[in-house]
Structure 1
Amino acid sequence: MATTLPVKIEFSLPEGWQPAPPDEVGAPGVAFVALHPDSRDGFTANITIAGKLREDEADLVAIADESVQRLSTAATVRVAQRTQVGTPEAPALTQTLRVSTALRERPLELVQSQVYLVMRDVHEPAKRAVIELVLTAKSSQLDEVADDFKEFVRTVRPAGPADA
């Protein structure tokens, strides 16, 4: 079942990307899905947005490791790259995963680019929302969609008071 984000955000999708209902495209547990129909080649490249409130002290590396563990229950996963970015006030982490799985009983090699953003509650700094932005694509599709994902990530921000 699709979820909602713990904080309101706003973003812009690059040209050529289309929103899709998470439950209808097999992405339960995420709040938003966008598909790139032009990349369809046995697999459609996609962007997902998920997030949850975290009241624990887990750092972004531990949270990224949780994602690797979750994916590892259904696929073989290798962390290809991981970088902490952002600032102390707005920490973020990026990681690239190589995922070996199967689709309709055929082997499928995917790349996931994941970005984790922390958004703190201004009234209760101990409460923080961790937003997970993910691009999933076949290696052969990556050149076509990687810049779009970077462009998308640059547009993600907390929704302004008028949007709340």
Structure 2
Amino acid sequence: MPTALPVPIQFELPEGWRAAPPDAVGVPEASFVALHPQPDARFTANVMIDGEYRPDAARLSAIAHDSVERLRQAATSVKVTSHHEIGSADAPGFTQTLAVSAVVGGVARDLVQSQVYLSILDVADPSKRAVIRLVLTATASQHSYVLSDFQDFVRTVRLDANTAS
């Protein structure tokens, strides 16, 4: 069963991408998964969203580092190829790109993962902080092709004003 996000968000998928049940694609801890319409070498590029409340003061870069360490436990190798602070003091974010070698579906794959971390403070109680993680995973050869779709997608992510408190 998909994990609910700590805060409601809204977004628009790029043309052609389709939502998929997280359980059905093997990421039950995700809140949302979308699949690219054209697989590359039998691997389907995907976007995954998850998030959690983070009442601690951990920097987004530290949270991203923890994510890399968890991925290292499941992959053959993981290398951070870039990372950047983004956003502003009021709406901080962090991005990182990873080169990942892993066995997926019994096949050794070279993948690239682009991760975006967004920190969202509760306006009524700034001690309540949610961190939303947006992840694009694609083959190394397809990543540059689908990256612009992912960037367009990230630009549409915002709090859902209809349900946010």
Structure-2 separation of matches of 1:100 and 1:67:
16
| Conserved? CA contact 2:4–2:31, under 8 Å | yes
> What is the aligned-residue identity percentage?
54
Equivalent AA in structure 1 for residue 138 of structure 2: A
Question: Structure 2 length normalisation: TM-score?
Answer: 0.95
Equivalent AA in structure 2 for residue 118 of structure 1: S
CA drift of 1:38 comes to: 1.3
Aligned to 1:141: 142
Aligned to 2:56: 56
Aligned to 2:14: 14
Whether 1:110 aligns to 2:111 is yes
Q: SS at the partner of 1:100?
A: strand
Question: Structure 1 length normalisation: TM-score?
Answer: 0.96
Structure that is richer in helix per residue: 1
CA drift of 1:2 comes to: 1.6
Number of equivalences: 163
Deviations 1:22-65 (A, max 9, x none): 00000121100000021342210000000000001100111001
Aligned to 2:74: 74
Aligned to 1:31: 31
Structure-2 separation of matches of 1:7 and 1:103:
31
Q: Unaligned regions of 5+ residues in structure 2, if any?
A: none
CA drift of 1:94 comes to: 0.4
Structure-2 separation of matches of 1:134 and 1:49:
6
